[in-house]
Amino acid sequence: MDRKPAQNVYSRIQQNYPDYFAAVEALGSAAHNAGPLDERTLHLIRLGAAAAIRSEGAVHSHVLRARDAGADAAEIRHALLALTSTLGFPTVAAALSWADDILGQD
């Protein structure tokens, strides 16, 4: 899997629009620290949002971040499966396939 295109866009935005990027980062940080949820839970929520907007790159990113925050593969897959009645099977199936790009077939 090649993450270079997404990383290039991220880096270009950061480089070309430093004030904008700083504001987006500050907003994200403020939202992250606004309440009692732990890091693992926040990344599972963000993973669900990434699946909802059908963003393969964001699913990849939040699977990695959720895993780094302590979520295991079963929890990550369950977080996605739990979205079925809200997002529908095709969206969840796509998100699971993108998660498996990171998690493998373990």
Q: DSSP letters of 34-72? A: SSS--HHHHHHHHHHHHHHTT-HHHHHHHHHHHHHTT--
Q: Kind and range of the H or E element at 85?
A: helix 84-87
CATH of domain 38-106: 1.20.1290.10
* Global confidence as pTM: 0.83
Instruction: Note the pLDDT tens digit of each residue in 57-94.
Output: 999 999 999 999 999 999 999 999 999 999 999 999 99
List the domain boundaries for the chain. Answer: 1-35, 38-106
Radius of gyration of the chain measured on its C-alpha atoms: 15
- The answer, yes or no, to whether residue 6 has pLDDT greater than 90, is no
- The answer, yes or no, to whether residue 4 has pLDDT greater than 80, is no
b/e map 36-69, b = 16+ CB within 10 Å: eeeebebbbebbbebbeeebbebbbbbbbbbbee
Neighbours of 28 (CB within 10 A): 11
pLDDT class for 10, splitting at 50, 70, 90?
Answer: confident
pLDDT class for 7, splitting at 50, 70, 90?
Answer: low
User: CA-to-CA distance for 48 and 62, rounded, in angstroms?
Assistant: 9
Number of residues that make up the chain: 106
| Residue 1: per-residue pLDDT | 46
